[in-house]
Amino acid sequence: MQKRIAIIGAGVSGLVACKHVMEKGFSPIIFEAKSGIGGVWSQTIESTKLQTPKNLYQFSDFAWPASVKETFPSHKQVMEYLHAYAAHFNILPRIRFNTKVTCIDYVGPAGEEEDMASWDLWSGTGGPFSPNGRWDVTVQHALDNSAPVEVYQVDFVILCIGKFSDIPNIPVFPLNEGPEVFNGQVLHSMDYAKMDADCSAKFTRGKRVAVIGFQKSAIDIAVEVANRNGTRHPCTLLFKKVYWTVPEHFLTLNFKNLNRFTEFMIHKPGEGFFIWLLAFFLSPLLWIFSKVTEFYLMWAYPLKKYKMIPGHDFIKQISSCMFTVLPANFYSRVNEGSLILKRSQGFRFWKDGLIVDGKENYIQTDIVIFATGYKGDEKLKNIFGSSYLQECIGSSAPFYRECIHPRIPQLSILGYSESPSILYTTEMRSKWLAHFLAGTFKLPRIREMEADVRNWENCIRSYAKEKYKRSCVSVLLQIYCNDQLCKDIGYNPRRKKWVLAELFAPYSPVDYKFL
């Protein structure tokens, strides 16, 4: 009897997981709460485009169409590319749209959940399936709450629900200091992104808008509003901390230098003495790169003039998966007065706007948009019906190979890890997972996987410090992580044809086309 596989989510991760699982002879079913594919790409602001050069944000076996000339395609072009991929590999018939997964429960013999903590092998076998365990996937029609609940029994679940959607991260305010005292409108960037271009323009045109945050969505929304309203109704960008931002051309150059030689500068988990020594002697080059980058950005942008110089190293920020491409006209808008930068350690609402830093420093505004991120861990945890499995997800450690929790059987999590290219990272793990499901290899013992996870956590913490995130592991060691995946499935990790290219040429998805 063929094993039943459920994929939850039809974003980039769900599509690529389905394609590779199908290649191994499985017939997966995808549950998608929305009416279409694309995940976060299906609902985003008009000006959003890739922050990754398209040669690194592409499927290894499905190139961008020749008509896309831009290095950083727009979100519309990305959506067209995803639709073409899904149609080419006949993925669409596998998707149940408008079907929201409300809960997943692991079902095994009586008392098995309590015994999981003592398991020696993942799923009890070290393989993807268990002779006794299964998952119950509970779904309901996303647009009809009165529709009957359905329960699907499957042998393996692939979670592709992402980090950047559904549960917004909004600050909590003391009584009478929050949005309830504000006479204007308050929303999260998630809700703003759901508007089409005409609706968002109508919503903000001629209004005083304050955007909270300093990551990609905050900057993009603030510039979009500033372009629309000009100096008559300037947009205020209110933030607590400044981060390094880079121009597109710098990012292109930086990606070209992501090769094996640069990874020799980074310490690796479980490294031997020779590799440690090599990283020790080459690590000053990493420090030099970080400082040169900082000096360049201070020269390219008027950071000192507007007191926008971050208090941390560039390399520390990159190792925390925090990198943002700055719109080309950002400081032009600041200079002309259509975009106002306001740094504050705290703020509260009043009837006509915001009061910053607890002083009589008022910002009059009509609309406040929180671009303050999402609660990715909470979203992931909430999908499990079992408190034991929720506690497992609550661990601060990363996942094994960035997609397997050592204590949660018959389940993989794709698209949760952050990297310079989510598509690249996810496709590699989809290939690895497809081989695992097909029986090409088995997982190590649980205690060995947990030791590996702890080693990765310690390694990344040494670079990211207090900004460590368990979802950000491979950003500094993309090739090294891919080497591990290749070795697991029995492929040569050296993908170039000659030595110098192997050392100094950048790696991209096409290098792994035939895995």
In this prediction, residues 417-425 reach a mean pLDDT of: 88
pLDDT for res 482: 96
Q: Measure CA of the first residue to CA of the last residue in the chain; give whole Å.
A: 27
pLDDT for res 259: 93
Can you tell me whether residue 185 is helix, strand or coil?
A: strand
Distance CA 137, CA 275 (A): 45
| pLDDT tens-digit series, residues 164-174 | 888 899 999 99
pLDDT for res 111: 52
Q: What b/e string do you get for 101-115 counting C-beta neighbours within 10 Å, with b at 16 or more? A: bebbebebeeebbee
Contact of 81 with 108, CB cutoff 8 Å: no
In this prediction, residues 70-80 reach a mean pLDDT of: 95
Confidence of residue 157 (pLDDT cuts 50, 70, 90): very high
Phi, psi of 135 (to 5 degrees): -115, 135
- Nearest C-alpha neighbor of 153 from the set 168, 170, 174, 139: 139
Distance CA 223, CA 235 (A): 8
pLDDT for res 112: 62
Lowest mean pLDDT, pick from 52-56, 334-338, 419-423: 419-423
Distance CA 215, CA 488 (A): 36
Indicate whether 110 pLDDT > 60.
Answer: no
Confidence of residue 339 (pLDDT cuts 50, 70, 90): very high
Contact of 45 with 200, CB cutoff 8 Å: yes
CB atoms within 10 A of CB 68: 16
pLDDT for res 322: 85
Indicate whether 163 pLDDT > 90.
Answer: no
* 503: its two tokens: 């050392």
pLDDT for res 254: 82
| pLDDT tens-digit series, residues 404-413 | 999 999 999 9
Share of the chain above pLDDT 90, in %: 78
* 106: its two tokens: 């692991």
Contact of 485 with 432, CB cutoff 8 Å: yes
CA atoms within 13 A on the CB side of 17: 33
pLDDT for res 395: 75
96 vs 47 pLDDT, higher one: 96
pLDDT for res 113: 64
Count how many residues are written for the chain.
515
Confidence of residue 195 (pLDDT cuts 50, 70, 90): very high
pLDDT for res 402: 95
| pLDDT tens-digit series, residues 234-268 | 999 999 999 999 998 888 888 888 899 999 999 99
pLDDT for res 419: 84
Beta strands in 63-154 (DSSP E): 95-96, 99-107, 134-141, 150-154
* 445: its two tokens: 């013992």
pLDDT for res 330: 96
| pLDDT tens-digit series, residues 368-379 | 999 999 998 899
| pLDDT tens-digit series, residues 306-332 | 999 999 999 999 888 888 899 989 999
Contact of 116 with 106, CB cutoff 8 Å: no
Confidence of residue 394 (pLDDT cuts 50, 70, 90): confident
Output the average pLDDT for the chain.
93
Q: What share of the chain is helix, strand, coil (3-state, %, to 5)?
A: 40, 15, 45
Beta strands in 42-125 (DSSP E): 95-96, 99-107
Can you tell me whether residue 245 is helix, strand or coil?
A: strand
Q: How far is CA 154 from the centre of its chain?
A: 27
Indicate whether 71 pLDDT > 60.
Answer: yes
3-state secondary structure 284-329: HHHHHHHHHHHHHHHHHCCCCCCCCCCCCCHHHHHCCCCCEECCCC
Distance CA 205, CA 219 (A): 17
Instruction: Report pTM.
Output: 0.94
Distance CA 401, CA 171 (A): 33
Indicate whether 298 pLDDT > 70.
Answer: yes
Q: What is the CA radius of gyration of the chain?
A: 24
Helices (H), 230-267: 248-256, 260-263
pLDDT for res 114: 62
- Residue 342's beta-bridge partner residues? 238
Indicate whether 75 pLDDT > 60.
Answer: yes
Angle, in degrees to the nearest 10, between helices 422-437 and 478-489: 10
Contact of 54 with 68, CB cutoff 8 Å: yes
Can you tell me whether residue 501 is helix, strand or coil?
A: helix
Distance CA 2, CA 159 (A): 20
pLDDT for res 1: 61
Indicate whether 153 pLDDT > 70.
Answer: yes
Distance CA 493, CA 512 (A): 9
Contact of 131 with 110, CB cutoff 8 Å: no
Distance CA 416, CA 431 (A): 16
Q: In Å, what is the CA distance from 353 to each residue of 224, 295, 369?
A: 20, 37, 12
| pLDDT tens-digit series, residues 434-458 | 999 999 999 999 999 999 999 999 9
Query: Which residue's entry shows tokens 């390094």?
Result: 244
pLDDT for res 332: 96
Distance CA 71, CA 252 (A): 8
pLDDT for res 444: 97
Q: Which DSSP state fits 472?
A: B
- Nearest C-alpha neighbor of 101 from the set 155, 166, 164, 22: 166
